[in-house]
Structure 1
Amino acid sequence: MKTVFLTLLLGLVCAAQEAPAELDSSQITGDWRSILTAADNLEKIKEGGPLRAYVRRLQCTDPCSSLSINFYAKLPNQCTSLNVVAEREGDVYHVGYTGSNFFELIPVSQNTLAIYTENLDGVKSTKVTQLLAKGDSATQEDIQQYEELNRERGIPTEHIQDLTQTDDCPQ
């Protein structure tokens, strides 16, 4: 009986959750700048780490069924411009880059966007987030929402790193 009750309760909780808002390509397409990043495995996002990225532009195509991401990685200590194209599968995008990456775009405010990624490198799964802004900074409220996103995903707040302090790659 307890199992039936818990199953019913879980179903009601899931049904009460709002469906993720459908993102409009005009909200996503444009110039962006990486402000913060965090991961449950700091090795992946440390300076020179394979998942430390400095995003510059997002471009939706075919009503966001594909997403082109232009970013820089420092390989090693030299800015290398990269462009990858992610394909959408439901609400999640998939792209191959240092393994398989499954990510979702989460609007934080009019001028900020969070990306939550799960990277599978063949050995280990790593949770990574980034806070992107249309300008050079984010508001304190945006940062608080980003911190909450990390807590919800099991990424410690102390793992958040300020990318603006190390971003010396071309605009």
Structure 2
Amino acid sequence: MHPGHFQIEGKWNSIKLGATNRAVIEEGGSYRCFMSAIELLKNGNLNVTYFHRKNGQCIKEFYIADKTAIPGRYEFEYEGKNYLTFVAVTSDFAVVDTENQSDRGQLVVVELYGRGLSVGDAGQKAYSQHSARRGIPEENIFDLSKLEHCKHIP
């Protein structure tokens, strides 16, 4: 289940979103977003495309995540330094851990992506286990698969 680059690339849908600080993933929160696609660049970095809502409108954004010396781990700047790690990746799902370090302290955000709008038991289990390991309580996890994703809004 460890990622190969061929498995990371392509279109993804946000299924679940959890964080150690619930406020950042609630509607209007700075980490409330809907994954769209991941592209591997020639230099090994990632171009990550996502949508978020701002003033009721869906906004398409992207960021470049720089590869690190650790396989499957990338870093980018957003409200501090972020370390993005692909915890588990299959052809159907990905569990992604983002750790933010800023002057406000440490924040952990764990996401479950699917190729479709749902994932099977293996994906749900991998996500639940990793979220628990990272100290994210159930009440801090949103099921985004039940929400209208921005990319489906004209």
TM-score clears 0.5: yes
Output the CA distance in 2 between the equivalents of 1:136 and 1:37: 14
For 2:80 and 2:55, locate their aligned partners in 1 and report how far apart those are by CA, in whole Å: 19
SS, match of residue 170 in structure 1: helix
Aligned partner (choices 145, 149, 169) of residue 126 of structure 2: 145
User: Larger % of strand: which?
Assistant: 2
Q: Distance in 2 between matches of 1:129 and 1:93?
A: 15
Where does 1:17-166 land on structure 2 (aligned, <5 Å)? 21=2, 23-62=3-42, 65-91=44-70, 92-166=73-147
> Is the Cα–Cα contact under 8 Å of residues 31 and 57 in structure 1 kept in the other structure?
yes
In 2, the alpha carbon distance for the partners of 1:132 and 1:103 equals 14
SS at match of 2:128: helix
Residue pair 1:48, 1:77 contacting (<8 A) in 2 also: no
Structure 1 or 2, whichever has the larger Rg, is 1
Structure 2 spans left out of the alignment, 5+ residues: none
For residues 121 and 43 of structure 1, the distance between their equivalents in structure 2, rounded to whole angstroms, comes to 16
* AA at the equivalent of 2:117: D
Judging changes above 3 Å, is the alpha-carbon distance between structure 1 residues 32 and 38 closer, same or farther for their aligned structure 2 residues? same
What count of residue pairs does the alignment treat as equivalent? 150
Q: Note the aligned Cα RMSD (angstroms).
A: 1.8
Give the aligned residue type for 1:54. Answer: F
Task: Give the Cα separation in 2 of the matches to 1:161 and 1:113.
Answer: 16
Bigger Cα displacement from structure 2, 104-113 vs 25-34: 104-113
Q: What is the deviation of 1:108?
A: 4.4
More helix by share: 1
Q: State the partner residue of 1:5.
A: none
Q: Distance in 2 between matches of 1:130 and 1:54?
A: 10
Q: TM-score, normalised by structure 1?
A: 0.80
1-structure distance, mates of 2:5, 2:21? 31
- In the superposition, the TM-score normalised over structure 2's length comes to 0.88
